[in-house]
Chains A and B, each alone.
Chain A
Amino acid sequence: DVKVTQSSRYLVKRTGEKVFLECVQDMDHENMFWYRQDPGLGLRLIYFSYDVKMKEKGDIPEGYSVSREKKERFSLILESASTNQTSMYLCASSFRTLAGKEYEQYFGPGTRLTVT
């Protein structure tokens, strides 16, 4: 079974702190994604990585950065946490689409981050 793990289920941080959220997948997936999920807004893509050291901004990248030094690991960084970044953060991974074959995304359990 594909496994996507996230470093914490719950996290409480103070305003201005630097926050690291880590995600690890064990299926050799090329693609990895970070989303945030807020009530009534569904899932919004923060950043997408399609290969080691490669990244692409999603819909809401402001206030976030990412790092992908190894294929299996994708980190989301909040440089200076703010209260409006309180949210559920979901990591996902997938194979790259090849020759017309599309793939589903596999999700981690989520990290509920509270910034006070």
Chain B
Amino acid sequence: SQQGEEDPQALSIQEGENATMNCSYKTSINNLQWYRQNSGRGLVHLILIRSNEREKHSGRLRVTLDTSKKSSSLLITASRAADTASYFCATGRYNTDKLIFGTGTRLQVFP
């Protein structure tokens, strides 16, 4: 398996601070996606960035992709307690619809 890895494994911040999570992967990719998982629930898609894109925004989320370093980062600005969750990156390769998920970052935002 060519699982990606998120860094850090766990992150604790105060409300209003920014949270940055990083993802590294091993193979060439077609796209990279970020998902959120609230405790004990299914995953929810946040954002998809294609291999020819370098940055993408969605609301308070900013994702960057550096294919030369095989890495991506997810920035959540002005964090809220409701952002408390686990965040996973997932990479998509060419000629397959399968995704390879990382091991996740647990984010705790304290009020």
A and B form one complex = yes
Question: Interface extent on A, as a size class?
Answer: 20 to 34
Q: Is the interface of A mostly helix, strand, loop or mixed?
A: strand
Among the listed B3, B42, B50, B104, which residue makes an inter-chain contact with A102, where contact means beta carbons less than 8 Å apart? Answer: B50
**B34: min CB distance to chain A, Å:** 10
Q: Could you tell me which A residues sit within 8 Å of B by CB distance?
A: 4, 31, 33, 35, 40-45, 48, 50, 56, 58-59, 88, 90, 92, 94, 96-97, 102-110, 112
Interface set, chain B 31-87, CB cutoff 8 A to A: 31, 33, 35, 40-45, 48, 50
12 intermolecular pairs with C-beta atoms under 8 Å apart: A35-B101, A43-B90, A44-B1, A45-B99, A45-B100, A48-B97, A97-B97, A102-B48, A105-B45, A110-B41, A110-B42, A112-B40
In the complex, A44→B68 CA distance in Å? Answer: 26
Among the listed A40, A45, A104, A108, which residue makes an inter-chain contact with B45, where contact means beta carbons less than 8 Å apart? Answer: A104
